[in-house]
Amino acid sequence: MAGLLERMSLVIKSKLSKLLDRAEDPAETLDYSYEEQLKLLQNVKRGIADVTTSKKRLQLQADKLEQSLVKLDTQARDAVAAGRDDLARQALERKTLAQRQLQDLDVQIQQLEGQQEKLTTSERQLSAKIEAFRSQKEVIKAQYSAAEAQVRIGEAATGIGEQMADTGLAIQRAKDKTELMQARAGAVEELIEAGTLEDFTAGDQSQLDRELAQISAGQQVDAELERIKAEVGAGAGQKELER
């Protein structure tokens, strides 16, 4: 099969053999290669941690949006009860916007989860291969002459080299995805700070909050006024009786 896919495997093999041809001391090559493998393993672990952090950040935003959905819904109901359909409409418009944001976030969180899984699989495979390589390199160093060792190293290096390339690519792709998501998360946070989405997360009262607060304050004032009127009225009656 001399097709495309074989070509990919050949690209990797030629890179490896170039690398091995340069080596003069097989034992040294083995140790060096092993160190590189361990570095890559650290990289993949860091990659998993980064993806996890980004996912948490998005989940936090999603939680905030969930809360604001409840709040906006309550506000819309309060506004309708107060006969202020205009305010209710505003609250519902914001709710729709928040819902859309939330859907986007859910998709992004799922994508990051996919990356996390891929990296975890890659880490497991790389780690197992490194361990196998480590024991094989000790055997090669102990038992073979330089010429024989070269052949054996070639065999062991192909498998591990291919895995390293695969893991390296997985890390790169996860990094690209994570950076993209972080940029988007940052953009949403900026919108929130700029006040466009103020009501979703900000502690400050929005215009809507203030108007609703005025309504409920107004209702409270009316109720208080009624109560005082009733008391005063009752007092006046009392005096008349006393007279």
Partner 1 sequence: MIVRLMGEGQYRIDEQLREQLNELDGRAATAIDQNDEPALDDLLDEMWQLVRQRGEQLADDELSGSDVIIPPSDLTLEETKKLFSDEGLIPDLPAR
The least distance separating partner 1 from the CB of residue 114, rounded to whole angstroms, comes to 10
Q: For the chain, how many residues are written? A: 243
Q: How far is the CB of 188 from partner 1 (least distance, A)?
A: 25
Contact positions vs partner 1 (CB under 8 A): 1, 3-9, 11-16, 19, 22, 32, 36, 118, 121-122, 124-125, 127-129, 131-133, 136, 155-156, 158-162, 164-166, 168-170, 172-173
The 10 Å CB-count burial string (b at 16+, else e) for 200-230 is: bbeeeebebbebbeebeeeeeeeeeeeeeee
Closer by beta carbon to partner 1, 5 or else 241: 5
Report in angstroms how near the CB of residue 199 gets to partner 1 at its nearest. Answer: 37
The 3-state DSSP class for residue 3 equals: coil
Please, which residue, 128 or 223, has the CB nearer to partner 1? 128
- C-beta of 12 vs 192, nearer to partner 1: 12
Which residue number, 30 or 98, has a Cβ lying nearer to partner 1? 30
DSSP string, 142-179: HH--HHHHHHHHHHHHHHHHHHHHHHHHHHHHHHHHHH
Q: Which two tokens stand for residue 24?
A: 């003069």
